[in-house]
Amino acid sequence: MKSKNQTGAVEFLLLGLSEDPELQPILFGLFLTVYLVTLFGNLLIIMAIVSDPHLHSPMYFFLSNLSFTDICFSSTMVPKMLVNIQTHNRAISYAGCLSQVCFGIGFAGLENFLLAAMAYDRYAAICHPLRYAVIMNPQLCVLLVLLSLSLSTANALLHSLMVLPLSFCTDTEVPNFFCELVQVLKLACSDTHINNILVYVVTNTLGGVPLLGIIFSYTKIISSTLRMASAGKKYKALSTCRSHLLVVSLFYGTGFGVYISSAFTHLSRDTAVASVMYTVVPPMLNPFIYSLRNRDMKGALRRLIRTPSA
């Protein structure tokens, strides 16, 4: 197959979720609605946390960073999809595709680390309540966020730089609605053996370590609550973890769903639909999970909404 130089000549085609012209307006309206809900829902969470002194605590500090990450993660891919549907043009430039790969990996990794930091916060609050303020001091919280940002950025840049030397063939159709690293590597004409090894090793390391941290934290939390004599204390302790557990389940559940779909199905459309569940749905649902199941957050949102008319 004929190769092209990757420095601007390559243009990728995002096949999206469906080629049916009648479905395009429906998909446009659906994803526009989802994106706007994601944007405004997470912005409300951030504004409520910033404006309410009662929410100036480590848990909500991490939550505000998680909401910002969700906005950025969704904005990496959904706006381009909407533009492609509206203009009936599925093309994306090489630079645009590589940008989606880089930012997608970066924000997904950042969310992964933030969820682990939030699990550690719940561990400190429940297992060491008397030392909680000392353990989760502002310096540590900022350090955890900066460390998460640094690791996720380094990971994204590493994979992106490894893609730069690759050349691509004339068949550059990406069977998804955004440029995903594994799909892009499959389109390369040059040898991607090292890239694939790197994806496997780094993904399992940077994805597995935070997950193990979350499992360890909740193992300790469950062990600590079981030793509590009062049923009321047990319920109160576990109720502070419900929202985080739901978000963790949604994030990792949809992530594993994408992995299983790509590993056991040869239908690109099935993989693309599974990718929607991982990249679009969690950022939209996270604000609802934290606002509907959290009394403090609901109170802060009510005060935020009433403020202009006060």
Residue 261, pLDDT score: 61
List the one residue out of 115, 112, 130, 116 whose CA is nearest residue 224. Answer: 130
Residue 258 has pLDDT above 80, yes or no: no
pLDDT in tens, 95-134: 999 999 999 999 999 999 999 999 999 999 999 999 999 9
**Tokens 């769903």 sit on residue:** 257
Q: Can you give the pLDDT at residue 74?
A: 94
In whole angstroms, give the CA distance from residue 130 to residue 134: 9
Greater confidence (77 vs 169) lies with 77
pLDDT at 5: 45
Domains and CATH numbers, the chain: 9-309 (1.20.1070.10)
The DSSP line for 60-108 is HHHHHHHHHHHHHHHHHHHHHHHHHHHHT--EEEHHHHHHHHHHHHHHH
pLDDT digits (tens, 9 = 90+) for 33-73: 999 999 999 999 999 899 888 889 999 999 999 999 999 99
Q: What percent of the chain has pLDDT over 70?
A: 90
Q: How far is CA 178 from CA 60, 163, 170, 182, 265, in A?
A: 31, 16, 18, 11, 19
C-alpha to C-alpha distance for 27 and 242, rounded to whole angstroms: 32
What's the pLDDT tens digit per position in 142-173? 999 999 999 999 999 999 999 998 888 777 88
The reply to whether the predicted model has a pTM over 0.85 is yes
